[in-house]
Structure 1
């Protein structure tokens, strides 16, 4: 069984959190948060952020009954859950995720925060808002190390109003709308829908999940996972990464 707080906060669904010597810290909602374990989550904002009111127990049991791979994944990461992140942060984060790794995405995320965000406490910066980034050029983003993603970021910031439409759209419509932004394809759109809008029908297919589907679920599609494919995806994604990298 793994430290599920670490797998949630440092496992690729968010880049807001930093693992410090004795806690995890993040600047969210205009405040610096520091937590060591789930029992530290008492504030209403964090309860919602960590989706503590959702019945994960029932969904886990339903998924465990499907096959041995999900059973193993869920038993390895029993407290894994989907964070409810701010849509704009999720959009920018997952544009940065393209052809990138967690360590480097986090580095760029922190650079953007320090250069364009607001200092909340000494050394702790909020992630910049769309208005704080609206005048940032492709060249400015390049200086942050965003590479080919720079022009995608500029287009996304110019079209930020799209995010306001998403809650009113069906999953398919929302995905298509997000993909009207330059550089957002099916995988990134699904990540934005899942982590920024808590659309649990999303099923991001990155290289890890393609490997899972081709190796363990050949001939099956997302419908196999029932009503909450996003949760199956997160368990399997964490499981295969742990299995292949350790």
Structure 2
């Protein structure tokens, strides 16, 4: 009876209270991760708060719902094969740990940033748990191309339509159908630009299709993006700027979110927080001064 009940609920959005047997926990205090601040901050555009404090989205080509308590991060995964209902495996949880970079101590970073920015020290306690995501490089690149001269709500809509049209269908929960992010091949097709314009991407449509073709035909495909993760900042920045739609303003913002430039966010290399963070309106006045300045200074200065 329990197994049948779990199967019946498996293709609906879950909450921790409704089906606790299908959730796994990761020790992680709120001071190390705040889901509400991280998933809605404009780093990724594919997470929705389907139930209060329960965030659902696609990670590593699987659909997840995440929630948290004061001391734990809770995760449940939905598998397309209903016969595989069960809590996340250790291997599946590894993808969650990597996505949030949970091997990195945020407390240590906050201490370092506070030591180099008095303003950050003043406000750090108000905004604990904010960390960079380690995103799939393809999703990150094309999401940021969509972000040009845009706001979070419109970017989210563009990325969602992009996935619905060109990405693989994963599964449906309640009335919501989830798709994986499109491959480079899917975005490089001959009719892609015209279709993207119909989806409301405007001038960004040309950049999406042209960048996908350039990566596939001129730069060796996905391995080219992946190797930039370990490249020096200057090399990664220069390489990204060769792509249509990625200029000198977008590239410095894109590098940290793609986990590039050898920056694993340890104290010796992290320096200050990344140059542009789309914080919720009430928090913008508390943005570190070093971060706020980076958007308006020359590239040679902002890199420092």
| Correspondent of 1:167 among 220, 225, 229 | 229
Q: Do residues 127 (structure 1) and 181 (structure 2) align? A: yes
For residues 90 and 243 of structure 1, the distance between their equivalents in structure 2, rounded to whole angstroms, comes to 23
Specify the SS of the correspondent of 2:45.
coil
Give the Å deviation of 1:86. 0.4
Of 59, 64, 67 in structure 2, the residue corresponding to residue 33 of structure 1 is 64
Does 1:45 find its partner at 2:45?
Answer: no
Aligned to 1:145, what secondary structure does the other structure show?
coil
RMSD (Å) for aligned C-alpha atoms: 2.8
Per the normalisation by structure 1, the TM-score is 0.80
Query: Does the residue aligned with 2:170 lie in a helix, a strand or coil?
Result: strand
1:14-49: CA deviations, max 9, x gaps? 112112123111112121010012521571110011
Supply the distance in 2 between the matched residues of 1:72 and 1:178 (Cα, whole angstroms): 35
Q: Residues 171-223 of structure 1: CA distance to partner in whole angstroms, max 9, x if unpaired?
A: 10111011001221123222332112254769xxxxxxxxxxxxxxxxxxxxx
Unaligned runs of 5+ in 1: 203-224
Given that 1:200 and 1:229 are in contact with CA atoms closer than 8 Å, whether structure 2 keeps it comes out as: no
Partner of 1:158: 213
> As a proportion of its length, which structure holds more strand?
2
SS of corresponding position for 1:183: coil
**Count of aligned positions:** 222
Please point out which of 139, 142, 149 is paired with 2:194.
Answer: 139
Structure 1 segments, 4+ long, off by >6 Å, are none
Which of 91, 94, 107 is matched with 2:157 structurally?
107
Q: How much does 1:233 deviate?
A: 4.2
Q: Does 1:183 align with 2:238?
A: no
2:134 equivalent in structure 1: 84
* 1:120 alignment partner, SS class: strand
Higher-Rg member (1/2)? 2
Shift of 1:239: 7.7
Return the structure number with greater relative CO, CA threshold 8 A, min gap 6.
1
Q: Distance in 2 between matches of 1:74 and 1:139?
A: 45
- The structure in which a higher percent of residues are helix is 1
Uncovered stretches (5+) of structure 2, i.e. residues with no partner: 1-29, 76-89, 216-220, 287-304
